[in-house]
């Protein structure tokens, strides 16, 4: 069996849905399980619903109306008004309305998961309905009856034994199956979600449990490139990558495939393909067992808008284990993601991501105990398989504030020109 995953950009409008249906028909007309994300930017739209539910209830009807109109506008180009899919979609909106009216829980993460799941449920109903409309038989199912997790809402952990048992028992491997990414359910049948890159992870879970032939992630790029084309004008398609290389690149911040997606399929040596839904005839990238990186060239990863922090003791004493342990605990407490570490006898430097805007609180707490030097709005470049010309290319982008080099990887913090 093959596993396909289509993200939100691939189903953002009616023409995109038709394109996905064409790919499924041509590439996976039988024994294929298709994981589909919420359409376009609908996850963001449902997050707006959640925000209004908590903070601006007067805006809630407009937010819900926008989502309903978005989906029904797409449906109007794909279906007749009498098609069954309209009833299925109306049932989902009814369930969402019922939850919003009856919920009494104030637990944000729980509420988030119960609402956000409707993006995936709606998109898969529409994709499944359109396939049936054009004569492509398929089975739609609710993934929450297959993937079971703990109750850690928004970042749930999979119960692998139960999930594998349910998937092998329920999935008809002789047909096209359409299901949702990102969402799951706990033992009380409440919706949970799988965290960052959850839809890719869903594909990995099904592939592992079914010992799939392959997993294909369909994206709007030709495959895995050696650099982000939005940052670098000259990029090269990497035709083959090992699991280990893909995990290394993801660790440093490349939007390749998240490690938690790779881990289950690597255990069974299931190839992962990254292909273009824009040009589906192109081969794309294969991630598989081995040490190959073809072509063998420098790969660039950039993280923008970082903060470089250098911390030293007020009395110029050594920065040793107890100091560093304390600092790391505070970085964790304030949800500051560390992307680079460097220390000397009297200073400790970190390049961090201030995603949750808690850096100022961190700085205020440590400022009385340490001397702190801060450089904001810097860029962190990571070069895998670097050479001299690759380092020179990055150093020409601004003032180099810190460089760290090991055998395979160079990291350079740049203050942009």
Question: 356 or 167, which is more confident?
Answer: 167
Mean pLDDT computed over 343-363: 91
Q: If pLDDT is split at 50, 70 and 90, which confidence band does 356 have?
A: confident
CA angle 230, 234, 238 (to 5 degrees): 90
Closest CA to 5 of 293, 141, 202: 202
**5 marked among binding-site residues:** yes
Mean pLDDT computed over 138-156: 97
Q: If pLDDT is split at 50, 70 and 90, which confidence band does 185 have?
A: very high
Respond yes or no on whether the N-terminal peptide bond of residue 113 is cis (omega within 30° of 0).
no
Give yes or no for residue 133 having a pLDDT over 80: yes
DSSP labels, 3-39: EEEE-GGGGSSHHHHHHHHHHHHHH-SSSEEEEE--S
Mean pLDDT computed over 96-117: 97
Q: At what angle do helices 60-76 and 84-102 cross, to 10 degrees?
A: 170
Architecture of the domain made up of 299-416: 2-Layer Sandwich (3.30)
- Which residue bears the tokens 């703990």? 150
pLDDT, mean over the chain: 94
User: So what's the pLDDT on residue 104?
Assistant: 95
**57 marked among binding-site residues:** no
**8 marked among binding-site residues:** yes
Residue 382 CA to residue 345 CA, distance in Å, equals 25
Give yes or no for residue 77 having a pLDDT over 90: yes
Domain layout of the chain by residue ranges: 2-219, 299-416
Give yes or no for residue 291 having a pLDDT over 80: no
- Asked if the 2-219 domain carries CATH number 3.40.1160.10, the reply is yes
pLDDT in tens, 335-346: 999 999 998 888
Q: If pLDDT is split at 50, 70 and 90, which confidence band does 69 have?
A: very high
Give yes or no for residue 221 having a pLDDT over 80: yes
**195 marked among binding-site residues:** no
Residue 279 CA to residue 285 CA, distance in Å, equals 13
**398 marked among binding-site residues:** no
**244 marked among binding-site residues:** no
**120 marked among binding-site residues:** yes
**How many Cβ atoms from other residues are within 10 Å of residue 93's Cβ?**
16
Give yes or no for residue 29 having a pLDDT over 90: no
User: So what's the pLDDT on residue 368?
Assistant: 87
Give yes or no for residue 320 having a pLDDT over 90: no
């Amino acid at each position: 069996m093959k596993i396909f995953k289509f993200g939100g950009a691939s189903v953002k409008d009616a023409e995109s849905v038709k394109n996905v249906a064409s790919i499924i028909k041509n590439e996976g007309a039988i024994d294929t399980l298709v994981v589909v994300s919420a359409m376009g930017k609908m996850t963001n739209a449902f997050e707006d619903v959640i925000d209004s539910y908590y903070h601006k209830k007067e805006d809630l009807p407009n937010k819900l109306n926008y989502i309903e109109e978005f989906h029904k506008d797409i449906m109007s180009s794909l279906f007749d008004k009498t098609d069954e899919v309209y009833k299925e979609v109306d049932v989902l909106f009814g369930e969402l309305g019922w939850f919003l009216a009856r919920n009494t829980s104030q637990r944000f993460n729980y509420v988030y998961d119960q609402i956000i799941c409707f993006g995936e449920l709606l998109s898969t109903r529409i994709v499944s309905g359109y396939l049936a409309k054009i004569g492509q038989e398929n089975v739609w199912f609710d993934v929450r009856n297959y993937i079971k997790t703990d109750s850690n809402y928004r970042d749930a952990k999979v119960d692998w034994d139960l999930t594998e048992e349910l998937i092998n028992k329920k999935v008809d491997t002789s047909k096209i199956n359409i299901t949702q990414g990102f969402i799951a359910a706990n033992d009380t049948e409440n919706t949970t979600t799988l965290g960052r890159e959850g839809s890719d992870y869903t594909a990995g879970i099904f592939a592992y449990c079914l010992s799939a032939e392959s997993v294909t992630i369909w994206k709007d790029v030709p495959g895995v490139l050696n650099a982000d084309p939005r940052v670098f004008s000259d990029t090269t398609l990497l035709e083959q990558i090992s699991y280990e290389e893909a995990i290394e690149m993801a660790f440093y911040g490349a939007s390749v495939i998240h490690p938690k997606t790779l881990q289950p399929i690597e255990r069974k040596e299931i190839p992962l393909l990254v292909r273009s839904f824009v040009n589906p005839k192109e081969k794309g990238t294969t991630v598989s067992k081995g040490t190959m990186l073809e072509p063998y060239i420098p790969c660039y990863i950039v993280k923008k808008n970082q903060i470089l922090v250098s911390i030293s003791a007020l009395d110029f004493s050594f920065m040793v284990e107890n100091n560093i342990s304390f600092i790391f605990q505070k970085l964790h407490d304030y949800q500051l993601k560390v992307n680079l570490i460097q220390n000397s006898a009297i200073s400790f430097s970190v390049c961090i991501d201030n995603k949750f805007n808690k850096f100022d609180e961190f700085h205020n707490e440590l400022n009385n105990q340490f001397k702190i030097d801060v450089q904001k709005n810097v860029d962190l470049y990571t070069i895998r398989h670097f050479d001299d010309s690759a380092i020179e290319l990055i150093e020409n982008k601004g003032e180099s504030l810190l460089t760290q080099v090991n055998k395979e990887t160079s990291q350079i913090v740049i203050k942009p020109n």
